[in-house]
Each structure stands twice: as C-alpha cells, then as structure tokens.
Amino acid sequence: MKNYILVFTLIILSSVSFSQTQLKLGYIDSEVILTQFSEAIKAQGDLDALTNKYSAQLDSMTLAYQQAIADYQKQAETMTDAKKTEFQQKIVMMEQNLVDFRRAKFTQGTGEIFKKQEELFAPIKVKIYAAIEKVAKEENMQFVFDKSGDIILLYADSAFDITFKVLDRLRRGN
C-alpha cells in the first residue's frame, strides 16, 4: 500500500512545477539489466551451479532416505526388536540430516545459497546503482523507478526508460 501511495504522490508531484522546475521521472527494468549485464550473468551462473550442486546432494540424500524406509518396511517382520530399533534410529538420523541440510543450504536469509547470492550480487548492485545515479543526473531526473520491482507502474512512456543507458554505462565500466 505504501508503494501505491508513493507512486501516486510522485505522479501528482511530477505534474506540478516547483520554482519553474518540472520534476522528471525515469524508470529501468532491472530484469533486463540482470539478464544482459555480463557480471550479473556470470554471478547468476555461479549461483545456479551452486544451487544445482546442493540440489543434487539433497536429491541423493532423499533417495537414500526413501530407500532406507522401503528396506525397513520389507524387512521389519523378520527383524529382531534390537535390529528394528537400530534401523529406526538410522532412518530418524537420515531424516534429521535432510532437514539440517535443507536448512543450512536453502533457508532464505541464513542458508549458504542466500549468503552466496548476497556475496556475488552486492558489488554488482553497487555498480548498477552508481550507473543509475549517473544517468539520472545526466538526464536531470529526480526519481527513477524499477518497473520490475514492488512499485508497479500502470503506465510508462518509453521516453523515460533509461534501462539501456544504464546498461551501456555498466558495459563501459563507468
């Protein structure tokens, strides 16, 4: 709701002039930037490789867990009580290992994948924000929105789209 109020307020403000100065708005599409900026593409590739590695490990662990359950169900009637207890403890331990692995690798905010994403994309975000700021200043814009983010634009005149100017600045390295 706050985002809608912000957009509404800025749209109204953009039509009002202050001291003979008209507010100028611009927008970018961060999805376009992240899919075309070489550093972001590489970072996403590295992150995908790590995710695939951990997913394969999780799949392998899950398969072993499911196989242990199936083996237990097949053999339970012929096992001694001591052997049943031992097998049940093994299955419980495997299940706990699965839960711990998921938590350690995949949990939003604390998992290794999330931390790696932050590590890989932090310097890229700094570059993107710097390029946005430079282009916005060159274009005399007071506000720049991201149309692929939480702030939804109901209409965007392509004359104010600075996505490719930001990409160009990033590619030139300044």
> Are residue 103 and residue 152 in the same domain, yes or no?
no
Q: State the CATH number of the domain containing residue 31.
A: 3.30.910.20
Please state the φ and ψ torsions of residue 48, each to the nearest 5 degrees. Answer: -65, -40
| Structural domain includes residue 43 | no
d(C-alpha 22, C-alpha 160), whole Å: 14
| Structural domain includes residue 22 | yes
Split into its structural domains, the chain has a count of: 2
> Are residue 120 and residue 168 in the same domain, yes or no?
yes
Residue with token string 């196989």: 67
Provide DSSP, 59-106.
Answer: HHHHHHHHHHHHHHHHHGGGS-HHHHHHHHHHHHHHHHHHHHHHHHHH
| Structural domain includes residue 73 | yes
> Are residue 77 and residue 23 in the same domain, yes or no?
no
Tokens linked to 82 = 């001591």
Range of the domain at 81: 48-113
pLDDT of residue 17: 47
What is the length of the chain? 174
| Structural domain includes residue 155 | yes
Give the list of residues 6+ apart from residue 90 with CB closer than 8 angstroms, or none: 68
Tokens linked to 102 = 């998921």
SS3 167: helix
> Are residue 53 and residue 106 in the same domain, yes or no?
yes
pLDDT of residue 149: 76
| Structural domain includes residue 147 | yes
pLDDT of residue 150: 78
> Are residue 102 and residue 130 in the same domain, yes or no?
no
Instruction: List the helix and strand counts (H, then E) for the chain.
Output: 6, 4
pLDDT of residue 20: 53
**Mean pLDDT in each 10-residue stretch from start to end of the chain (174 residues)?**
53 52 86 96 98 98 97 94 96 98 95 96 95 91 86 72 93 86
